[in-house]
């Protein structure tokens, strides 16, 4: 009797999406989701995005998603608009984050399991962009000395920070108005990403700059553990 051990590899790429592009979500044309259904968040391509919606105050923080395309609309009502007018790489739907001073948790993305993340595209909302470019009733017009910075923190499966990456959504009068790739590979293997914002336009109570940003096309590396090895025994 001859025994053959046949080894094979099933790639998990057919069931584990590499890129979180939000195109698996459903929205009516020119609309957004902000958590008003009380679900507490949403899932896209295996990644979970937190959301906290306050029914009493009709307010939210964490993540929303949108397909709004108007690039001229300004002010608080434009908080769900990405300033480029669409998602990254020509996609329709993108995520919008609001970092509330009063929130128990920051905007957080939780992956299906610990893995490396290559990076993602980021940009400003209309609300933040026009506030920094022109000033408004609450925030100043940015000068050469001003900065609006997004800090991205990696957290592994043990709950430990793996590092941080900073990206300037505005650097002086250079205010981001397109989708910009940010390399997150230096964070290593992570289970979560958390996000915070800081600005040079501050008051005693906190930041004056509208605390929003947009995200799209989060790329997850498909590591070796995304494939399943099998060994089959054939006797004859």
State the pLDDT at residue 204. Answer: 86
Which has the closest alpha carbon to 94: 14, 166, 185, 31? 31
d(C-alpha 175, C-alpha 99), whole Å: 19
More confident residue, 14 or 168: 168
**Taking all residues of the chain, what is their mean pLDDT, rounded to a whole number?**
90
Residues 43 and 157 in one domain: yes
Residues 60 and 12 in one domain: no
Residues 4 and 44 in one domain: no
Residues 167 and 232 in one domain: no
Which token pair is 148?
A: 């609006």
More confident residue, 153 or 11: 153
Residue 228 clears pLDDT 50, i.e. is over it: no
Residue 14 clears pLDDT 90, i.e. is over it: no
Q: What is the CATH number of the domain that holds 52?
A: 2.60.120.1350
Residues 10 and 47 in one domain: no
Residues 98 and 123 in one domain: yes
DSSP class per residue in 82-131: BTTSS-GGG-S-EEEEE--TT-SS--EEEEEEEEEEEEEEEE-BHHHHHH
Residues 11 and 70 in one domain: no
| pLDDT tens-digit series, residues 155-187 | 999 999 999 999 999 999 999 999 999 999 999
Residues 149 and 69 in one domain: yes
| pLDDT tens-digit series, residues 136-146 | 999 999 999 99
Residues 1 and 116 in one domain: no
If pLDDT is split at 50, 70 and 90, which confidence band does 18 have? Answer: very high
Residues 180 and 211 in one domain: yes
Residues 79 and 119 in one domain: yes
Range with the poorest average pLDDT among 33-42, 78-87, 189-198, 223-232: 223-232
**Residues 209, 33, 116: CA angle, nearest 5 degrees:** 75
Write down the pTM of the prediction. 0.88
Number of domains in the chain: 2
d(C-alpha 150, C-alpha 33), whole Å: 23
State the pLDDT at residue 205. Answer: 85
Range of the domain at 8: 1-17+225-236
Residues 2 and 80 in one domain: no
Average pLDDT value for residue range 89-98? 97
């Amino acid at each position: 009797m001859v025994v053959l051990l046949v080894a094979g590899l099933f790639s998990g790429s057919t069931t584990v999406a590499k890129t979180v592009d939000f195109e698996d979500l459903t929205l009516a044309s020119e609309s957004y989701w902000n958590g008003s259904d009380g679900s507490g968040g949403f899932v896209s391509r295996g990644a979970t995005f937190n959301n906290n919606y306050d029914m009493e105050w009709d307010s939210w923080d964490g993540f929303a998603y949108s397909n709004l395309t108007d690039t001229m609309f300004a002010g608080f009502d434009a908080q769900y608009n990405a300033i480029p007018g669409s998602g990254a790489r020509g996609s329709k739907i993108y995520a919008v984050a609001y970092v509330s001073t009063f929130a128990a948790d920051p905007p957080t993305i939780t992956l299906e399991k610990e893995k490396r993340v290559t990076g993602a595209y980021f940009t400003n909302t209309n609300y933040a962009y026009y506030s920094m470019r022109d000033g408004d009733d609450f925030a100043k017009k940015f000068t050469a000395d001003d900065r609006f910075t997004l800090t991205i923190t990696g957290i592994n499966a043990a709950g430990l920070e793996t590092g941080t990456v900073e990206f300037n959504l505005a650097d002086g009068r250079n205010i981001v108005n397109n989708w910009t790739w940010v390399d997150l590979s230096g964070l290593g293997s992570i289970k979560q990403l958390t996000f915070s914002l800081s600005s040079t336009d501050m008051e005693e109570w906190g930041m004056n700059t509208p605390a929003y940003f947009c995200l799209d096309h989060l790329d997850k590396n498909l590591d070796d553990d995304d494939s399943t090895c099998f060994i089959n025994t054939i006797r004859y």
